[in-house]
Structure 1
Amino acid sequence: MSSVSQLAKRFREVLLDGLWIANTNFKDQLSDVSWKQAITKVGSLNTIAMLTFHIDYYIAGINNVFEGGELEIKDQFSFDLPPVETPEQWNELLNKLWNDAEKFATLLEKMPNSKMNEVFVDEKYGTYLRNIDGMIEHAYYHLGQITLIKKMLTH
């Protein structure tokens, strides 16, 4: 299996269908989160909806680069979730994450392995490989938060 195929598999594992590292994934954890739970604040922690938006914000931004566009995302806007006021809006947010995640993995699979060592947008960001690995690690970090917040809301 090529390195891009392995990266795409690792990415799908944390977002869509894996059990290897955390014995869960975003889709599994979020599948039974209600709209009310998603927007419920636990102390000073981010809401599940906010963390869902946050991880999708970065995935969508990197997808834009993968498709030949500019890196338009900014850290300062990564938590700018519009109000989620209905179950339908929560479902739209989830569907956007699933679609963007699958798109990310599919675009990654189409890249040549040699692309992994190329500069990602600007030298200050490192290589494609560094950014893809970072996205996977970032997703696991927030998956852990979501899992804990969910437990706090349901126990």
Structure 2
Amino acid sequence: MKKTEELANRFREIILYGTWVANTNYKDQLENLNWKIATSNIDSLNTISILAQHVHYYTNGIKNVFNGGNLEIRDKYSFAFPEIKSQNEWKIFLTKFWEDAESLAKFIEKLPDEKLNQNFVDAKYGTYQRNIDGLIEHSYYHLGQIVLIKKIILTNK
């Protein structure tokens, strides 16, 4: 198996269907979650919906580069999203998240392995490998937060 195929599958694992590292994934945690729980505030913590949108923001931004576009994502905008106000809006967001994640995974697996060591957009951003690994690691970090926040909310209901 090519290294890029392995990376694509690692990315799918954290977002769409895996259980190897965290025994869960984003889709498992979010798919049947009520929007009111997803948008519930606990003290100064980010909401589950904000964390999910944050990870999607980076997924979509990196996907845009793979699709021939510019790197348009900026950290200062990575938590700035319109409020989700209904189950339908939550469902629409999740559908987009899953679609964009699968689309990025397909781009990653089609990369030649040699591309992994090349600069991602600009040398200051590191290599393709570093950015893909970073997205996977960043996603695990926030998945842990989501799991804990969800437990707190469901325990205090």
Q: How does 1:106-121 map to 2 (within 5 A)?
A: 106-121=106-121
Identity of aligned residues (%): 54
User: Which residue number corresponds to residue 57 of structure 2?
Assistant: 57
TM-score in terms of structure 1 length: 0.98
Correspondence 1:132 to 2:132: yes
1:33 positional shift: 1.4
User: Which residue number corresponds to residue 153 of structure 1?
Assistant: 153
Q: Secondary structure at the match of 1:108?
A: helix
Deviations 1:49-73 (A, max 9, x none): 1011100000000001001111001
Deviating 4+ runs (over 6 angstroms): none
Distance across 2 between alignment mates of 1:151 and 1:52: 16
Runs of at least 5 residues in structure 2 that lack an aligned partner in the other structure: none
Distance across 2 between alignment mates of 1:11 and 1:83: 27
What amino acid is aligned across from residue 87 of structure 2 in structure 1?
P
1:83 positional shift: 1.5
Distance across 1 between alignment mates of 2:100 and 2:31: 16
Runs of at least 5 residues in structure 1 that lack an aligned partner in the other structure: none
Select between 29-38 and 49-58 the one with higher mean Cα deviation: 29-38
What amino acid is aligned across from residue 100 of structure 1 in structure 2?
D
What amino acid is aligned across from residue 117 of structure 1 in structure 2?
N
User: Which residue number corresponds to residue 99 of structure 1?
Assistant: 99
Q: How does 1:72-83 map to 2 (within 5 A)?
A: 72-83=72-83
Distance across 2 between alignment mates of 1:66 and 1:115: 12
RMSD, matched Cα: 0.6
Distance across 2 between alignment mates of 1:32 and 1:89: 13
1:77 positional shift: 0.5
